[in-house]
Chains A and B, each alone.
Chain A
Amino acid sequence: MDKFIQVCNVYFQYDSDEDASTDSFALKGVDMEINKGEFVAIVGHNGSGKSTLAKHFNSLYLPVTGDVYVNGINTKDDDRLFEIRKSVGLVLQNPDNQIVAGVVEEDVAFGCENLGVPTEEIRRRVDNALKTVGMYEYRTHSPDKLSGGQKQRVAIAGIIAMEPECIVLDEPTAMLDPQGRYEVISTISRLNKEMGITIILITHYMEEAVLADRVIVMDSGKVLTDGTPREVFSKVEMLKKHRLDVPQATELVYKLKGCGYELPVCVLNEEECVEALASLLQENKAGRNINVSDKG
């Protein structure tokens, strides 16, 4: 697979006046590669540097030492800044603060207008983007009247209209209710599956991270572990040690295993959990030795 984003030994500190003791750095030597078409989730608790890292992907922040390459372009290359921002779009946490215009379709058009896309082409892209996120019928509405999930989808449409190869979402669901969260996450996975857009989802909801192809766990400015959701969430001990959650289903199975039940190493969602428990019950019925409810 093609390497799309390469992060090489990046250090970053917010206040450059501070002395260079390692504590003042938000990122302390991050290395990672993100391939074209991947759906990557980056998780970590508050202050782990995940949002700081997100802003490095489209050169909003520049590394103090180290380099970030997008499609082979160094993000420090000022002349190709718009090329980078055009190919990597960033969606922020608060949906209210990233909508510029007072009408949905005007806001979606904002990025295209800045890029100097011809008028008819903007119209086509805006309509497509709004249809993709399922907000087409709201195109003439004012953003204030929309729910949080709808606003966030409008913000995503604004990025899609610029036709990026990659979308970085910095905790897009943190301020939404469960319904809004579902709307946003299903939109994101559809973009990845149907349009082949590379997705980097920064989140602290482990249930969302499970949907990704790959999970990267960050802790105090470093990459802690990197792998498929199954690989990462099987390391329950290690995640707990770094104050991170695992999906509820995973935790349940993990705890039951601790009690001595024969269960798979790692389940990721409710269905797998139910399946595992059902097969366990089946076996027990056949063996007639343990009553599960006694130990539960």
Chain B
Amino acid sequence: MVREITLGQYLPGKSPIHRMDPRSKILLLITYIVVIFLCKNFVSLLLMSLFSILIILLTGISFLKYLKSLRMIIFVIIITGILNLFYGSGDVLCELWILKITTGGIYNALFVIVRITILMMVSAVLTYTTSPTDLTDGLERLMKPLTIFHVKVHEIALMMTIALRFIPVLLEETDKIMNAQKARGADMESGNVFQRVKALTPVLIPLFVSSFRRANDLAMAMECRCYNGGKNKTRMKVLRFSKIDLAASIISVVIFAAVIFTNTIFQPVI
């Protein structure tokens, strides 16, 4: 059961998107998110959607995988869509008690659904095409300027690396403990929500104890390998901006500019 949860679902490949520097991927994703919420009419939204599809096709990963990334939040999309339906101005199309569906509401709902869907899929591009190590490495470099505000950037990045490394280990362990408790007669599948949560206590306590033991071992192993808090640390892999990054940035900037431009010349619908 626990095995089904996947995190940091990196899918190795050799596409141009895979070969991009994680830093440019993160920065472009952030800009992308800002731009998608600036879209105010159908032309700009269509342009943005086409751009998203282009990125997804470029990764060479099956479209099915992207649909799977939506599975987790499908309810969020539907519910926000429905809520937006009743929120807006314009011609009243249908009236149910105090709820009114207006043309503005329909546009709102449509925009929200499209925005969240392509946003999720493009975010999935980042996690699918970037290995966890590259991702944390990229974040560490990007956050480097924050060290002047005494933010412990290196520690945060190391914590992320270790967390990602130990998630599968701890999942496996949880599975083992659950089976061990079931073998002793623990009942975890029946009863209401509260009873089930309570039934998890005999799983969580051994899990915590063993995590501390693991942490102790890991600290020792790190000390054995001369870990000293990242002082004078060198790197095996040095991140470098390449021509692909330059090309990707130029293309993105042009498209973002076009989106903002169409936004201003066409009539906004929401």
Interfacial residues, chain A to chain B (CB-CB below 8 A): 55, 58, 60, 82, 85-86, 89-90, 92, 94, 96-103, 105-106, 109-119, 122-123, 126, 140, 142-144, 155, 158-159, 162
B91 at the interface (CB under 8 A from A): no
> Chain A interface: which of B81-89, B174-182, B227-235, B258-266?
B227-235
B161 at the interface (CB under 8 A from A): yes
Indicate which residue in A85, A96, A102, A119 contacts B223 across the interface (CB closer than 8 Å): A85
Given contacts A102-B132, A110-B227, A115-B226, 14 further A-B contacts (CB under 8 A): A60-B220, A90-B220, A97-B221, A100-B165, A100-B222, A101-B133, A102-B164, A113-B234, A114-B228, A116-B233, A118-B234, A119-B234, A143-B165, A144-B169
Tell me the minimal C-beta distance from A146 to chain B in angstroms: 12
Q: Which positions 137-169 of chain B face chain A at CB distance < 8 Å?
A: 161-162, 164-165, 168-169
Indicate which residue in A106, A122, A162 contacts B226 across the interface (CB closer than 8 Å): A162
Which residue of chain B has the shortest Cβ distance to A108 in the bound complex?
Answer: B236
Interface size on B, residues (CB 8 A): 31
Indicate which residue in B223, B227, B236, B238 contacts A106 across the interface (CB closer than 8 Å): B236
B224 at the interface (CB under 8 A from A): yes
Question: CA of A112 to CA of B131 in the docked complex: distance in angstroms?
Answer: 21
B68 / chain A contacts, CB cutoff of 8 Å? none
B133 / chain A contacts, CB cutoff of 8 Å? 101-103, 106
Given known A-B contacts A102-B164, A114-B233, A144-B168, A90 and B224 have beta carbons under 8 A apart:
yes
Question: CA of A85 to CA of B238 in the docked complex: distance in angstroms?
Answer: 26
Tell me the minimal C-beta distance from B215 to chain A in angstroms: 8
Whether A103 lies near B235 (C-beta < 8 A) is: no
B251 at the interface (CB under 8 A from A): no
Question: CA of A143 to CA of B164 in the docked complex: distance in angstroms?
Answer: 12
A112 / chain B contacts, CB cutoff of 8 Å? 234, 236
B214 at the interface (CB under 8 A from A): yes
Question: CA of A113 to CA of B19 in the docked complex: distance in angstroms?
Answer: 23
Tell me the minimal C-beta distance from B188 to chain A in angstroms: 25
Question: CA of A122 to CA of B238 in the docked complex: distance in angstroms?
Answer: 11
Which residue of chain B has the shortest Cβ distance to A118 in the bound complex?
Answer: B234
Tell me the minimal C-beta distance from B128 to chain A in angstroms: 15
5 A-B pairs, CB-CB below 8 angstroms?
A55-B220, A60-B223, A90-B220, A110-B227, A159-B224
Whether A119 lies near B238 (C-beta < 8 A) is: yes
Given known A-B contacts A96-B214, A101-B133, A111-B226, A126 and B165 have beta carbons under 8 A apart:
no
Which residue of chain A has the shortest Cβ distance to B165 in the bound complex?
Answer: A102
Whether A162 lies near B225 (C-beta < 8 A) is: yes
Whether A102 lies near B161 (C-beta < 8 A) is: yes
B187 at the interface (CB under 8 A from A): no
Most buried by B among A102, A110, A159: A102
Whether B221 lies near A122 (C-beta < 8 A) is: no
Which residue of chain A has the shortest Cβ distance to B233 in the bound complex?
Answer: A113
Whether B131 lies near A117 (C-beta < 8 A) is: no
Contact with A along B5-43 (1 / 0, CB 8 A): 000100010000000000000000000000000000000
Given known A-B contacts A97-B217, A144-B168, A159 and B225 have beta carbons under 8 A apart:
yes
Whether B161 lies near A101 (C-beta < 8 A) is: yes
Question: CA of A136 to CA of B223 in the docked complex: distance in angstroms?
Answer: 25
Tell me the minimal C-beta distance from B260 to chain A in angstroms: 38
B218 at the interface (CB under 8 A from A): yes
Given known A-B contacts A96-B169, A102-B161, A114-B227, A122 and B218 have beta carbons under 8 A apart:
no
Whether A105 lies near B165 (C-beta < 8 A) is: no
B236 / chain A contacts, CB cutoff of 8 Å? 105-106, 109, 112-113, 119, 122-123, 126
Tell me the minimal C-beta distance from A159 to chain B in angstroms: 7
Question: CA of A94 to CA of B217 in the docked complex: distance in angstroms?
Answer: 8
Given known A-B contacts A102-B164, A119-B234, A114 and B218 have beta carbons under 8 A apart:
no
Which residue of chain B has the shortest Cβ distance to A89 in the bound complex?
Answer: B224
Whether A92 lies near B221 (C-beta < 8 A) is: yes
